[in-house]
Chain A
Amino acid sequence: MSASTAAAEPRTLAAPAGFVSDVVAITTRSIRGILREPELFIFALIIPVFFFIVQVGALGDLARTAMHIPSYAAFQLPISILFAAASTSGGNALVLDISNGYWDKLSVTPVRRSALVVGTLFGELFAVLGYSLALLIFGYIIGVRFAGNDLVGALGLLGLTLLFGVGFAAVSISVALATGSVRATQSTFIIFFPLLFLTPSALPRELMTGWFEKAVSVNPITYVVEAARSFLIGPINGGVIFKGALAAALFSALTFALTALAFRRRVRMG
């Protein structure tokens, strides 16, 4: 293959690189960009940690007596982790590339353009992993432990968070691709509020009533929260975890479909 290419085009050194190689190259660049802006990492953690401290401080005692939750910190930690996972900046990095012309520069190479998006998503997975680990360590320091086996708990919680986080990153990446607008991309953060707060974030679903309970029950993220939480407060229940994983997978499948549409639009627009 490469021999015939060389024969037909005697002077260029370019050769097919392959999709995997393209994705590895773009992912490496994304991760490098994330590591070189540690301040973003700090900002992404400050709000979840602040929120966590305020919630636990205000409601911790009440939760123990009125809701019979022995450790409200363990109850709240998954919310903070999902909160941080939703603060990724994948779309922001991509929209900057689009607006400053770097996307075009990469697009005139023989790279498969889908690799540009997939590589950025992998970079986001790396960021989500970083946030989650940092918050788990924070939780460990203040005494939060996994309900069952530590390894199972850590892998389960991280896996679920990654699945949710990558789905969330895909939303901002879709907006970046579709609009090429920095402001629109940054404002996708807003959808996070209904998605993450119309959930049992402050109290268990059994204690909810009325329209709120109904809204919470139809929000797929509710099941992600409950599954994530079960790893920390128990009981570890296969059904709950399956529902959570399924909800996260469906959420991500939906946002990936959006990304694919936005991607096609971007490629057609040129």
Chain B
Amino acid sequence: MAYTRRMATAIQASDLVRRFGEVEAVRGVSLEVAEGEIYGFLGPNGAGKSTIVRILTTLLQPTSGSGAVLGHDVVSEQTTVRRLIGVALQEAGLDPKQTGRELLTLQGKLYGLRGGVLAEQVREVTELVGLSDAIDRRIQTYSGGMKRRLDLASALLHRPRVLFLDEPTTGLDPLSRALIWDRIRELRERFGATIFLTTQYLEEADELADRVAIIDMGRIVRQGSPAALKAEVGADVIDVAVDERESGAARVAIEELQSSGELPKGELRGTETGYTLFVPDGPQNIAVLIRGLDRAGVRFGAVSVSRPTLDDVFLAATGGRMADAAERSTAGEERTPEPAGRSA
């Protein structure tokens, strides 16, 4: 009876739309995250990830649609939602003139923590993120990685039940990244917190998330566990580099191989560097492909075969590689949505 509000759904969004003037940054996003889940939100720069996080963390109102955290509406029950969530934003805006401890103490006070509880929480989160030695230094002396860890610590002070981490490792070196990953796993194990994590790193989503949503141009294009998404691609991935002048000939040659049955029918995608072919039994078929291209007199560069990654899932879903999608976006701004059906 005491826990009547407790639900299995930690985060829920229905048809969220957000426009900035003419630009539709979020175009009808619906999602559900179960309690205790680590949910990865993967997409290139400017795909709308941060906008969705800002809506779900009460910082921004949706143009239409609704969102809720543990059953509390993010627009009409802001204060309740704010008490339940912890947020580490992408821009770790930390007052450089304060010490780490001062920043955490201020943050704790705003969450209504007092006295002994506050001091103990500050000690605990500082230890958790490995900043105990630096906590009394001014933040202006911190490295980028330390600032991120302090930001993470400040998001944990009040033991939030749902944690939003917006690109927690963007721009960090591999060592700092691994350290943050460990902390995130530990958080879930120790406190059972639900974690909503946005990232533009495939490995990060793969490593951490129970479920991943792939977002591009303000829409979720695929959703599921990393393994299931990769299985959906259902094939090995053969990449072949082809010079631009040979591009047409290569496509003709590959399609001929497919129609003659030498290569199994599978999705063929043009990429910035050549072609990507989704086929079962890559090692066997890479030989067929090389022989076929050779026979057709097509000059080609490196050929490789790999198991599908989340980037291949992204490619299969959107027709572009994540890195290319990010390049097309204006740095630091929401990308202007383009009409669907970009040429490959």
**Bound-state Cα–Cα, A104 to B102, Å:** 18
Q: Is the interface of B mostly helix, strand, loop or mixed?
A: loop
- Tell me if B79 and A110 are in contact (CB < 8 A): yes
A102 at the interface (CB under 8 A from B): yes
Interface flags, B49-77, vs A, CB<8A=1, else 0: 00000100111110000000010000000
- Tell me if A111 and B5 are in contact (CB < 8 A): no
A1-56 with Cβ < 8 A to chain B: 5, 7-18, 21-22, 25-26, 28-29, 32-33, 36-37
Q: Give chain B residues whose Cβ lies under 8 Å from the Cβ of A213.
A: none
Q: Which 8 residue pairs are nearest across A and B when measured between Cβ atoms?
A: A101-B93, A15-B112, A101-B91, A270-B60, A102-B93, A17-B112, A14-B83, A109-B110
Interface hub of A15, A97, A109 (most chain B Cβ within 10 A): A109
**Bound-state Cα–Cα, A108 to B163, Å:** 12
- Tell me if A108 and B95 are in contact (CB < 8 A): no
**Bound-state Cα–Cα, A28 to B98, Å:** 11
Known: A12-B159, A13-B121. A36 touches B111 (CB 8 A): no
Contact pick for B111, options A26, A37, A102, A110, CB 8 Å: A110
B340 at the interface (CB under 8 A from A): no
Q: Give chain B residues whose Cβ lies under 8 Å from the Cβ of A187.
A: none
- Tell me if B98 and A29 are in contact (CB < 8 A): yes
Query: Interface on B for A, CB 8 Å cutoff?
Result: 2-6, 54, 57-61, 70, 79, 82-85, 87, 89, 91-95, 97-98, 102, 106-107, 109-113, 117, 121, 138, 151, 154, 157-161, 191-192
- Tell me if B85 and A103 are in contact (CB < 8 A): no
Number of interface residues of A (CB under 8 A): 38
**Bound-state Cα–Cα, A12 to B79, Å:** 14
Q: Give chain A residues whose Cβ lies under 8 Å from the Cβ of B191.
A: 11
Q: Give chain B residues whose Cβ lies under 8 Å from the Cβ of A15.
A: 83, 111-113
- Tell me if A108 and B92 are in contact (CB < 8 A): no
- Tell me if B82 and A8 are in contact (CB < 8 A): no
Q: Give chain A residues whose Cβ lies under 8 Å from the Cβ of B93.
A: 97, 100-105
Contact pick for A110, options B6, B60, B83, B89, CB 8 Å: B83
Known: A29-B95, A97-B93. A110 touches B110 (CB 8 A): yes
**Bound-state Cα–Cα, A10 to B161, Å:** 9
Q: Give chain B residues whose Cβ lies under 8 Å from the Cβ of A32.
A: 97-98, 102
- Tell me if B82 and A109 are in contact (CB < 8 A): yes
- Tell me if A11 and B161 are in contact (CB < 8 A): yes
- Tell me if B61 and A12 are in contact (CB < 8 A): no
Contact pick for B83, options A7, A12, A107, CB 8 Å: A12
A-B contacts, 25 of them at CB < 8 A, read: A7-B2, A8-B3, A10-B2, A13-B113, A13-B117, A13-B157, A14-B158, A14-B159, A14-B160, A15-B112, A17-B112, A25-B109, A36-B138, A97-B95, A102-B95, A104-B91, A105-B89, A106-B110, A107-B59, A108-B58, A108-B59, A109-B111, A110-B79, A110-B111, A270-B61
**Bound-state Cα–Cα, A110 to B160, Å:** 12
- Tell me if A101 and B92 are in contact (CB < 8 A): yes
- Tell me if B92 and A111 are in contact (CB < 8 A): no
- Tell me if A21 and B59 are in contact (CB < 8 A): no
Given A13-B121, A14-B113, 7 other A-B contacts at CB below 8 A?
A9-B84, A11-B192, A13-B111, A15-B83, A29-B95, A33-B95, A36-B97
- Tell me if B91 and A100 are in contact (CB < 8 A): yes
Q: Which residue of B lies closest to A18 (CB)?
A: B112
Least CB distance, B130 to chain A, in whole angstroms: 21
- Tell me if A9 and B82 are in contact (CB < 8 A): no
**Bound-state Cα–Cα, A37 to B272, Å:** 51
Q: Give chain A residues whose Cβ lies under 8 Å from the Cβ of B91.
A: 100-101, 104
